[in-house]
Structure 1
Amino acid sequence: MGGLSIWHWLIVLVIVVLVFGTKRLGNVGKDLGEAVKGFKKGMQDDDKPSAQLPDESRRDTTSTSQRDDSTSDNERTPR
């Protein structure tokens, strides 16, 4: 008695179609499909980040403090 039957869902569907129209509902469906495709593509891209990471031996050996000092020297120089 507490659940919704198929007739309740059909009435809700008819009301939604009458309120929003079939064109707008079609656009919503298309946008939702594109969002799902983009999400799946993003998830596939996240599976492959190890191939894109730089090699540890190629990292810059300059320490962070040395970089910060050179930056602050540039900022102190008047233009």
Structure 2
Amino acid sequence: MGALSPTHWLIVLAVLVLLFGAKKLPEMARSVGRSSRILKSEMRVLRDDDRPAGIEADAARTGDATAGATAPPAGEHRG
């Protein structure tokens, strides 16, 4: 009763192909991938919104330019 064996996975795959057709499966996989990327970006925005606003204000008041600053994108050089 443990994990599914390769035979079980083949049966599941065969049922999916019979239900949805071979053309629909790649389209469904793409849409699931897009949805997960959208969900991840929305979760990142929510997490950033929950960050206390005092971090940036404290950095501006003390003149600490590195507090709350982000690293430059890869390939960019600070000069």
Q: TM-score, normalised by structure 1?
A: 0.52
Question: How many corresponding residue pairs?
Answer: 50
Query: 1:25 offset after TM fit, Å?
Result: 0.9
Q: Which deviates the most, 27-36 or 11-20?
A: 11-20
Q: Deviations over 1:14-51 (max 9, x none)?
A: 22213311221111111100110001100111122255
Provide runs of 4+ in structure 1 moved above 6 Å: none
Of structures 1 and 2, the one with the larger relative CO (CA 8 A, separation 6+) is 2
Task: Please state whether the residue corresponding to 1:33 is helix, strand or coil.
Answer: helix
What letter matches 1:24 in structure 2? Answer: K
Task: Look at both structures and tell me which one has the larger radius of gyration over its CA atoms.
Answer: 1
CA distance in 2, matches of 1:48, 1:5: 42
How many percent of aligned residue pairs carry the same amino acid? Answer: 38
Equivalent in the alignment of 1:34: 34
Match of 2:20 in 1: 20
Q: Distance in 1 between matches of 2:13 and 2:19?
A: 10
Q: Distance in 1 between matches of 2:12 and 2:41?
A: 33
Query: Structure 1: which 5+ runs fail to align?
Result: 52-79
Q: Secondary structure at the match of 1:47?
A: helix
